[in-house]
Structure 1
Amino acid sequence: MGKIVVSMYVTLDGVMELPSWTAPYWNDEIAKFELDLLSASDSLLLGRITYEEFAARWPERDDEEGFARRINEMPKYVATTTLTKAEWNAAFIKENAAEEIANLKKAKKKLLVYGSGTLVEKLLEHDLIDELHLLTFPLVLGEGKRLFKEGIDQKKFMLTDSRTTDSGVVISSYVPDK
């Protein structure tokens, strides 16, 4: 059985939208954490908006650590009902997203999700998340899209690890409490 790992950046007030606000806090600890997650994954699983943002930025990037090379080369599965032209090593999941993603997981795929708030809510709804990593940045934005909307069903998680980076970002790792 494969697994689905989610890595999400949030503010203290739960905002996850357009995380350009992470730049002042970015450091080698966060970069290593993300490279380790990416290196342990077979493929990316993204929502349409995150895919479009990443596909516009990452193909032109390069770095000494190998993150850019890895993210550019790895397969991507994109949950979308509107995109028609697959680029950047992508395959589209158009219908029955929860079922198709569950099948990828059964096929022993190790899928990493970045951003993709709507997709994460769908994964949570269908109990498809195996690990949830929240990187909580020490600021309050006061507005923006929140990680979880009101009205979702209660889900319990167990904290498996927590650490604070030198820049004050708290990295909390959870698994479902089944």
Structure 2
Amino acid sequence: MGKLTVSMYVTLDGVMEEPSWTAAYWDDELAQFQLNQLYSNDALLLGRVTYDGFAATWPTAEDEHGFADRMNEIPKYVVSHTLKRTEWNARLINHDFVDEIKRLKKTGQRLLVYGSAELIDTLIEHDLVDELHLMTFPLLLGEGKKLFRDGVAPKAFKLLTSFSTDQGVLIANYAPER
């Protein structure tokens, strides 16, 4: 059976969108965590908005650690009801995406979700998330899109591991109680 991991940057007040605020807290520990996480998965699972942003940025990005190369080469699945086609090594999932994700997991694929808050809510609702990796930044933004919408279905999680970086980012990995 495959595994679906959600990886998310979040502020102390739960904001997750437009993460330009992460730059001030970026360090080698956080970079290594992200690199290890990306290389330990087989494919990305993205919502349309995240896909659009990534596809506009990553194809021309370069770095010395191989993160950009991996972002460009890793297969991607994009969940969208509005996109007509994808590029950037991506496959569109536009019908019965819950069933398609279940099928992908049954094939043994390790899927990594970045961004895509609405998709994450649905994945949690259908008990498809196996791990939740939250990188909590010591910052309050006061407004912005929250990681979880009001009214999300209650779900208990257990802490698997946690550590903090020298810049104060708390990295906590959770698994749902099943």
Same fold (TM over 0.5): yes
Q: For residues 61-80 of structure 1, what are the structure 2 equivalents within 5 Å? A: 61-80=61-80
Q: Give SS of 1:82's match.
A: coil
Q: Give SS of 2:87's match.
A: coil
Q: Which residue of 2 aligns with 1:134?
A: 134
Structure 2: stretches of 5+ with no match in the other structure: none
Equivalent residue letter for 1:10: V
Structure 1: stretches of 5+ with no match in the other structure: none
Q: Which residue of 1 aligns with 2:143?
A: 143
**Do residues 15 (structure 1) and 9 (structure 2) align?**
no
Equivalent residue letter for 1:11: T
CA distance in 1, matches of 2:88, 2:21: 26
Q: Give SS of 1:4's match.
A: strand
Q: Which residue of 2 aligns with 1:167?
A: 167
Q: CA deviation at 1:96?
A: 1.1
Q: Which residue of 2 aligns with 1:110?
A: 110
CA distance in 2, matches of 1:114, 1:144: 17
Q: CA deviation at 1:86?
A: 1.2
1:60-101 CA deviation, whole Å, 9 max, x = no partner? 011111111011001100000111121000001101111111
Identity of paired residues, percent?
59
CA distance in 2, matches of 1:113, 1:119: 9
1:3-30 CA deviation, whole Å, 9 max, x = no partner? 1011000000000011111110011111
Root-mean-square deviation (CA, aligned residues, Å) is 0.7
Q: Give SS of 1:135's match.
A: strand
Q: CA deviation at 1:107?
A: 1.0
CA distance in 2, matches of 1:63, 1:17: 23
Q: Give SS of 1:154's match.
A: coil
Q: Give SS of 2:24's match.
A: helix
Q: Which residue of 2 aligns with 1:91?
A: 91
CA distance in 2, matches of 1:92, 1:125: 21
Q: TM-score, normalised by structure 2?
A: 0.98
CA distance in 2, matches of 1:73, 1:152: 33
1:131-154 CA deviation, whole Å, 9 max, x = no partner? 100000001001011011111111
Q: Give SS of 1:87's match.
A: coil
- Size of the aligned set, in residue pairs, is 178
Q: Give SS of 1:56's match.
A: helix
After superposing on structure 2, the runs of 4+ consecutive aligned residues of structure 1 that deviate more than 3 Å are: none
Q: TM-score, normalised by structure 1?
A: 0.98
